[in-house]
Amino acid sequence: MISLIINGLEVSVEEGTTLLEAAKFLGFPIPTLCYMEGLSPYGACRLCVVEIGEGPKAKLVSSCTYPAEQGLRVRTASSRVVNARKMVLELLLATCPQSKVIQDLAAAHDVRQQRFKQEDEDCILCGLCTRMCEEQMMAKAIGFRGRGENRDLGTPFDVRSEECRLCGGCMYVCPACQLRCTYNEPERAVCGGCANLSPPCVEKDQFDDMMCYMDPCVACEQETE
């Protein structure tokens, strides 16, 4: 067992526990976006930053990937952490302003607007869908491609992959979910999951029309009829 101090409270956890799990155990809220129980932590969104260490050596780390260390002092809501988180949210908002998930997170952290050039991307490269596809669905049908500003997600050669079972898991976990948008071009569709899975706007009350990117939004239209 490893004991560490989170926000002044001492806690003992098993070796290999991440700071995020330890903080959750104590009940300290840490916002996450690319983290999901059952999937390997990835540390892509940086929303879960916490401050560790003391004095000038204190630094920000992503709590979802940082393993607990003996005697480590962790602060989950210091002003530095809060500022960093707000900045991350602003940047995410600039990348993907229409995402309801990001909008909700931003609102919850008092970020009302962002100061950057709006990109209107349909993906924040959080990697949730690839991990879902690989680790839970055992398919490995989609993955990262390219690098730098050309990095994107999809199937090899942009064609329907034989590994894909149309499970729709990738859309289900996607915080910026626009993957289903490609349904208009069946050949390029990642999985065509929208054809057999109702989109989140049907199931969850908090999603409004803004969430739906299908053109036309097939499933919802069927629902309203």
- What are the residues binding another protein (CB under 8 A)? 130, 140-147, 155-157, 161, 163
Q: Which residues contact 83 (CB under 8 A, 6 or more apart)?
A: none
Among residues 150, 147, 223, 142, which one has the least CA distance to residue 182?
A: 142
In the complex, the smallest distance separating the C-beta of residue 213 from another protein, rounded to whole angstroms, is 24
Write down how long the chain is. Answer: 225
Nearer of residues 17 and 161 to another protein, judged by Cβ: 161
Instruction: Give every strand in the sheet of 59-62, ordered side by side.
Output: 9-13, 2-6, 73-75, 49-52, 59-62
Of residues 139 and 201, the one with the C-beta less far from another protein: 139
**What's the CA gap between 89 and 45, in Å, rounded?**
9
Residue 161 Cβ vs another protein, minimum distance, rounded to whole Å: 7
For residue 15, count CB atoms less than 10 angstroms from its CB and return exposed for 0-12, middle for 13-18, buried for 19 or more: exposed
Tell me the β-bridge partners of 5: 10, 73
Least distance between another protein and beta carbon 120 (Å) = 23
Residue among 140 and 204 whose Cβ is closer to another protein: 140
Nearer to another protein (CB atom), residue 29 or residue 156: 156
Q: How far is the CB of 164 from another protein (least distance, A)?
A: 10
Distance from C-alpha of 191 to C-alpha of 113, rounded to nearest angstrom: 34
Q: Which is nearer to another protein, 111 or 164 (CB)?
A: 164
183 Cβ contact list (under 8 Å, min separation 6): 189, 192, 194, 195, 214, 218
- Closest distance to another protein from the beta carbon of 138 (Å): 10
